[in-house]
A and B are shown apart, each in its own frame.
Chain A
Amino acid sequence: MAATTAASRLDFAPAYRRPGILRRLGRTARQHPAGVFGFFVLVLFVVTGLFGPALAPYDPDALSVGRPLEGPSLQHPFGLNQNGQDMFSRVIAGARVSLIISSAAIFIGAASGAFLGILGGYYGRWLDYIIQRSGEAFAAFPSLVLYFMLRAALGPGIEAIIAAIAIGALFGGNRVLRSATIIEARQTYVEAARAIGCSEWRIFIRHVVPNVLPLVIVIMSGALGGAILAESALSFLGLGPDVVSWGRDMSGQNLSIARTGYWHVVVFPGIAISLVVLGANLLGDSLRDIWDPRLRR
């Protein structure tokens, strides 16, 4: 079914000189403004997550930096919460834990899962068998169940959340990549490479991996949004790590305070969550459109 589609990526006329990379990027960007928007949101998210404390105008935990519950103003763009803490600084600081958990989901989970899928798809035989079977075993452990189990054993703390979300993402895109790799590995150019004496490892790294990489990035962007939503929901339920986080600022006492008219207390963290997830989704969609010709229309 997907054989034709993967092949279409490879047919290019040798005589045609490809325009410069910048120009190509620019053209793609113009075609996908939503994806560009998503890209910049994510860049902003990563920068905030990495350098948050340095960027924040106030210490997110500092009390009474202004009058408690005061609404948004020039000095405090997102207003202040019940403790007189600056919501703008808290929203910035909240990016950190979201970034940690979503990077864990992406790099520990989706990326290594993708690698296993590609590896299994390429080598087949016993390796593929082991990876596929363990994938099935882990499928029997949905993230939430895994989290419940780790929570019971380890108690609160970020470890259980990271482990649960990462393992949940591990075998998420596994099967798709495996089949994509199987198709890729049967292409003529792979045989050609083999014929001129390339080593299997070289073929794998130089030819197969780059060709399924776009799919990996699409899967990773999906995992990013999922991880952030999962983290915020757990924090909302009072299960999150004990640090400033968006989900946590939207729960419990803040919620009933917001109900009495101080909307800014929960709305800005909520916007932050939605914005980042939206960015990840938009970017993912655009990448899919660009790289997966089946959807390119």
Chain B
Amino acid sequence: MNRENSWTTRFRRRRLLTGGAAAGLAAAWALAGCGDDDDSGSGPTPTPAGVRPGTPTAPTPTTPGEVVKKDGTLKLRQNAIFATINPYGGLDSGLLWGFTIFDHLWYTPLDTGIRENFLATSIEQPDPLHFTVKIGEAYFHNKPPINGRRVKAQDIAASYMAARQQTRISNSSWWTQVLDSVVAVDDSTVKFTLKQVDAWTFSSTNGGSPIGSSILPEEIAKDPSFMDRDLIGSGRFEFVSHENGANFKLKRFDKWRIAGEPYLAAQEYRLIQEQAAALAAFSAEEIYSVALNNKLEREDLVKRHGDKIVIDSEDSRSVWTVLPRGDGQWADPRVIQAISMSIDRQELINLMNFGEGKVSGPVPPAFGEALPEADLKATWGKYDPAEAKKLLAATAFDTSKEYSIKYITPGDRNQQFAQIVRSQLEKNLGLKVKLVGEDLGRWLQQSLYGSQYDGFMVYASLAYDDPSSYIGGYAKQIGGRPNWAGYSNDEMDDLVKKQKTILDDAQRKTAVQDIQRKAWERGAPFIPTFIAITNTATWAYVKGRVVGRGSYGLFNGKVWIDK
């Protein structure tokens, strides 16, 4: 561990990235029939087991002296069919292979916030725009044409440069706007050059992305279409087989860089699309872990299996958001404040999650950068319909017009959210609101990115990995396009840009919190409402799990099956 390097400690890594960036692809899974929304905890990869919020995190207890049974097979659920196994062809395959088949230079568990070196043995940072990585000894899987040769710095440079050019995986703008070049100095040294300072460089949305930072053999990085047929990495598992993008089988890589690991002999993924069928399969022990949609499912499983199963719960980082317009009559901060104050977040939590959720500010409570409780209550978390109505009446807002709420269809949670928000706006502000369900393509491209809406957009944000992704919406430009809501405020724009350059952790945290308060005062239109608390059930005989460390737990080689 390279803790002496002051640079490493600066980048507090946050919670698991499940979403990366591709709103498009993420919701496409829902379209493809998996039927779950982003916040329900059942992403494309098996959701890592979490902990009850607030409890300290530790690996699941293994009694000292207990004999580890190696060679078990872990059986997991796959929610949706992958379009292709090529990790450059889709977010789903990119993430799953990133955690299993491919190795990475570094990763930062969210509980310590300290970057851990994986293949890297040291990371030297002479100045904020350059860093040099030395790598250790590792081998690729023994398959033609690579045939188990050693991993070299050239492979890493080629992988980063190849990932940057992919249009089909959703790289964050770090890849195009911050990363300048990656060069192999010699067989075991890689040199990174950045175009601009970015405090979030090592985050897993950026330079530590499970997809983008996957280490491919140089030959394959130069011809990624090879991965349409087979996958060769240097990760702890080898790719064995699939059935047209489903039912994957992986087996242990014997020359994995950590000797003796992984304990599991194999991983098997079973395609189960209907949640009801997944619960049935879990009870029948056809899969060992299942993400639960709600409290009812959890109580049912606990009643059935008692302490033979373990329930982990975790704060979702997907914020249910109402996005009104931010221009014209909406640019008056009081309009946005009135709308925010007319939303009864507790009712949303009760109806959508049986009371298991938390009121959320722009940055969800899972992050240290979230607004403190008191601030939240005074701003984005405030519910006061009487004051809201008074505030709105004082503005020039036209309440006689009919406004629309646009949401993604199909997907029952999106519709449910839209319905509840509509009823609250009608009841508390006397607005006339109609619901407009749109298919993903139209909703995303035309209505959201193209700003073609005349009232509200509603959605669950993606579960981002760094807080800066949540406040990016206050800038004039979002991902190279004009602000979706038409919101334009010089002060907010500057603040968003500035926090990226603050390398000091504590200062940046203050800056991010400050931006959220400012957003309230200045009436920025992204109105956060709540986050769900998600549950995962696992059979107790799955031991050695690492819980509460987000996606870091998926890199764990010490899972074993006591059965």
Contacts and interface: CB of A to CB of B under 8 A. Distances in A.
B398 interface: no
B439 interface: yes
Interface stretch (B67-75, B292-300, B552-560): B292-300
A47 interface: no
B485 interface: no
Interface in B249-301: 274-276, 279-280, 293-294, 296-297, 299-300
B351 interface: yes
A204 to B, nearest CB: 45
A155 interface: yes
B409 interface: yes
Given A62-B423, A237-B33, A256-B293, A84 B412 contact: no
Given A83-B351, A155-B442, A256-B275, A61 B419 contact: yes
Interface string A58-81: 000111100010000000000000
A259 B419 contact: no
Given A64-B347, A83-B416, A155-B442, A256 B279 contact: yes
Chain A binding surface, main DSSP class: loop
A148 to B, nearest CB: 14
Interface string A232-262: 0000011110100000100111111111111
B423 A255 contact: no
B18 interface: no
A262 B439 contact: no
Contact of A155 (B297, B411, B413, B441): B441
A198 to B, nearest CB: 55
B450 to A, nearest CB: 15
A156 interface: yes
Contacts of A82: 351, 416
B351 A84 contact: yes
Chain B binding surface, main DSSP class: helix
Interface string A11-41: 0000000000000000000000000000000
B486 interface: no
A63 B439 contact: no
A253 B296 CA distance: 11
Nearest to B278: A256
Given A256-B279, A256-B297, A260-B299, A242 B437 contact: yes
Contacts of B410: 156, 238-240, 242
Given A62-B423, A63-B420, A260 B297 contact: yes
Contacts of B360: none
Interface string B413-452: 1011001100100000000000101110110000000000
A259 B279 contact: yes
B35 interface: yes
A84 B280 CA distance: 26
Contacts of B293: 253, 256
A252 B299 CA distance: 19
Given A155-B441, A155-B442, A252-B35, A260 B300 contact: yes
Interface residues of B, number: 34
A238 B33 contact: yes
A119 B419 CA distance: 49
Contacts of B415: 242
Contact of A255 (B31, B33, B276, B416): B276
B351 A68 contact: yes
Interface in B24-50: 31, 33, 35
A257 B409 contact: no
A253 B274 CA distance: 9
Contact of A156 (B279, B280, B423, B437): B437
Interface string A248-286: 100111111111111000000000000000000000000
B351 A63 contact: yes
A156 to B, nearest CB: 5
Contacts of A255: 274-276
A240 B439 CA distance: 12
A238 B35 contact: yes
Contacts of B279: 256, 259
A218 B200 CA distance: 69
A232 to B, nearest CB: 14
A251 B299 CA distance: 21
The CB with the most chain B CB atoms within 10 A, among A63, A256, A259, is that of: A256
Interface string B436-472: 0111011000000000000000000000000000000
Contacts of A253: 35, 275, 293-294, 412-413
B443 to A, nearest CB: 10
Contacts of B351: 63-64, 68, 82-84
A63 B419 contact: yes
Contacts of A261: 296, 300
B412 to A, nearest CB: 5
A262 B297 CA distance: 11
Contacts of B411: 238
A240 B293 CA distance: 22
The CB with the most chain B CB atoms within 10 A, among A83, A240, A261, is that of: A83
Contacts of A238: 31, 33, 35, 410-411
12 contacts: A62-B423, A63-B423, A64-B347, A64-B351, A68-B354, A155-B442, A156-B409, A156-B410, A156-B438, A156-B439, A253-B275, A253-B294
Interface of A: 61-64, 68, 82-84, 155-156, 237-240, 242, 248, 251-262
Question: Nearest 3 A-B pairs (CB), nearest first?
Answer: A242-B437, A238-B410, A260-B300
Interface of B: 31, 33, 35, 274-276, 279-280, 293-294, 296-297, 299-300, 347, 350-351, 354, 409-413, 415-416, 419-420, 423, 435, 437-439, 441-442
Given A83-B419, A260-B299, 19 more contacts: A61-B423, A62-B423, A82-B351, A155-B438, A155-B439, A155-B441, A156-B410, A156-B439, A251-B35, A253-B35, A254-B412, A256-B276, A256-B297, A259-B279, A259-B280, A259-B300, A260-B297, A261-B296, A262-B296
